[in-house]
Amino acid sequence: MRLLSACLATILAVSVETKYIVPGGRWRDTDGNFINAHGAGITFDQKSGRFWWFGEHKTEEEPEGGGVSVYSSEDLATWKSGGLALAPIEGHPYIAPGGVIQRPKVAYSAETEDYHMWWHADNSTYGLLLQGHAVSSKIEGPYTFVDATAPLGNWSQDFGLFTDYKDGRSYALYSNGDSRDGRDVYLTSMNSNLTALDKVVHRFPKFDLEAPTIMQTEKSYWALMSHKTGYRPNNVVAFRADSLSGPWSQPFIVAPLNMRTFNSQSGFTLRIEGTKKTTHLYIGDQWDSNSVWDSRYIWLPVRTDESKKTLELEWHDVYDLNVNTGEWKPIKGKTYSAKQAKTHGDTYKQEANFATDGVILTGIYGNDSTVTFENVEGSGKPQWVSFYYQNTDDLGFGDQRKYTSIA
C-alpha cells in the first residue's frame, strides 16, 4: 500500500464501460496496454473523421526524450495505438534519447495539405529552450524532423498550440524560461502554412506561468495556465478576453480551493461541436513525480458563464460523452462513506466539514493501519472504484485532495 499522510474519504463503484471517461484512471488502448501519451494535444482530423491524441512517450529508462506517441479514436474513450509518430534518433542534436521532447501539438495546413507537429525541444539541462518542428503527409505519421528554432529569437519552454475555429488561424503559446528576463508567456501567430511563427499577438508578463492552452467559446477566449511547481500540481488559473490581442483579465482559479485543480496540470483544451451542444474538455496531466512515466490523465468538462465571465472545471468520477451530439452526463454509482468504515491500527475518524457525512479517516501510515468498507455491492464483473483522499506533502500547502480511480 502506498504511504498516505492524510485520509481516505469515499468509494464510488460503477461498472466498467470502455466508452466512459474516467479521470485519473489507468486508461488502456484497444490492445490492452496502458496509454502512454503525456502532455497531450488532440487534433480532430476532417479527412479521417477521427480524433488523434499526440503525447510524450515516457518510460522509466527514457522519461523525457522517448518520442511522440499517437492514438486515434472515434469517441474519445476507445483509443487505438499508432505507435510513435515521432521517434527519437540516436545522436540527433534535438530528438536524441536523453533529450527533451515535450508537449507535442499537431495542426493541419490546408495551404500545403500536410500536418505539422510542434513541441518544446531541449537538452537534459534545459539549456536550449527551443521549439521543434516536424512534418508529415499523414496525420498518424511518421513525422520527419525539420528544425528546432528560437521563436522570433526568444526562449521557449512549455508549448501550446491553438487554432481559432472561426477563421482557422493557428497560434503558438509558450513560456520563455525561468531566468530573471523570462517568466512571461507569449501568444504568437503562426504563418498560413504552419512552418514558422509570425508575430507576437500578446505577452502575459511576469506571472511566472507555464503549460498554456487557449479555449474559445462563442464570445470569449480563455487562456489556462499552471504555476511553476515542477511535476507537483497547483491551482491552475485562467484569463479571459474578447480578442486574442487583449486586454486580458486578471487570472482566476478554475477549480475549488485546496484541490490543486483536482491534482492536475493544464496542457490542452478540446472543443467538441456536436449536433445538440458544444462541449469543451480540459485535458490535463496527473503527474507522478516519483514515476513520471506512470502519470495519469485528468479530462474534465468545462463550464463557462459569459455574463459572469467565469470558467470552472467540473469533477465527475465517471462520465459518458457523446461526441456526435456534444452531450455528456455523469455516471452514478454507490457511495461508501468513511463514517461507516472500520479502522485498524493508527487509523482513526476525524471531523471534516468538506467530507461526505462530515467525517474522514486519517492516520493511515503503512500496511498496519487499514480501513475496511463492508457490504460493498459488486456486479460480478470488473468495476471502477474511485478513492477520495488527501495527501499532505513537502510543499507545505497541506491542501492536496486527490481523486484516484482504479478498475
CATH of the domain at 25: 2.115.10.20
Structural domain for 354, as ranges: 333-406
Specify whether 185 is located in the same domain as 219. yes
Vertex 281 angle, CA 280 and 287, to 5°: 160
Same domain, 307 and 352: no
Whether residue 340 is found in the same domain as residue 230 = no
In this structure, is residue 248 part of a structural domain?
yes
Residues 225, 356 within the same domain: no
41, pLDDT greater than 60:
yes
Q: What is the mean pLDDT of residues 36-53?
A: 97
Q: Tell me, yes or no, whether 92 and 27 share the same domain.
A: yes
> Does 13 reside within a domain?
no
Domain check: are 152 and 213 in the same one? Answer: yes
* Residue 294 is assigned to a structural domain of this protein: yes
User: Are 224 and 122 part of one and the same domain?
Assistant: yes
Count: domains in the chain: 2
pLDDT in tens, 322-345: 999 999 999 988 888 889 999 999
- The Cα–Cα gap between 137 and 45 comes to 13
Mean pLDDT within 309-315? 97
Last residue of a domain, one of 286, 302, 330: 330
The last residue of a domain, from among 280, 311, 330: 330
Q: What pLDDT is stored for residue 385 in this prediction?
A: 82
Q: Are both 306 and 188 inside the same structural domain?
A: yes
Residue 181: C-alpha distances to residues 30, 176, 185, 368 (Å): 46, 9, 12, 51
Residue type at position 53? W
Of the three residues 330, 364, 397, the one that is the final residue of a domain is 330
If asked whether residues 53 and 83 sit together in one domain, one would say yes
Asked if 123 and 91 count as a contact pair (C-beta separation under 8 A), the reply is: no
Tell me how long the chain is.
Answer: 407
pLDDT at 375: 87
Task: Return the closest-CA partner of residue 48 out of 22, 79, 72, 75.
Answer: 72
10 inside domain: no
Q: Say whether both 128 and 262 belong to one domain.
A: yes
Same domain, 175 and 251: yes
Q: Are 184 and 175 in contact (CB under 8 A)?
A: yes
Q: Which residues pair with 272 in a beta bridge?
A: 279
- The answer to whether residue 138 sits within a structural domain is yes
Question: Do 180 and 215 share a domain, yes or no?
Answer: yes
Residue with cell 455574463: 307
Residues 172-190, mean pLDDT to the nearest whole number: 93
pTM here is 0.92
Report the chain's mean pLDDT, rounded to a whole number. Answer: 91
Q: Is residue 34 part of a domain?
A: yes
pLDDT above 60 (res 392): no
6 is a domain residue: no
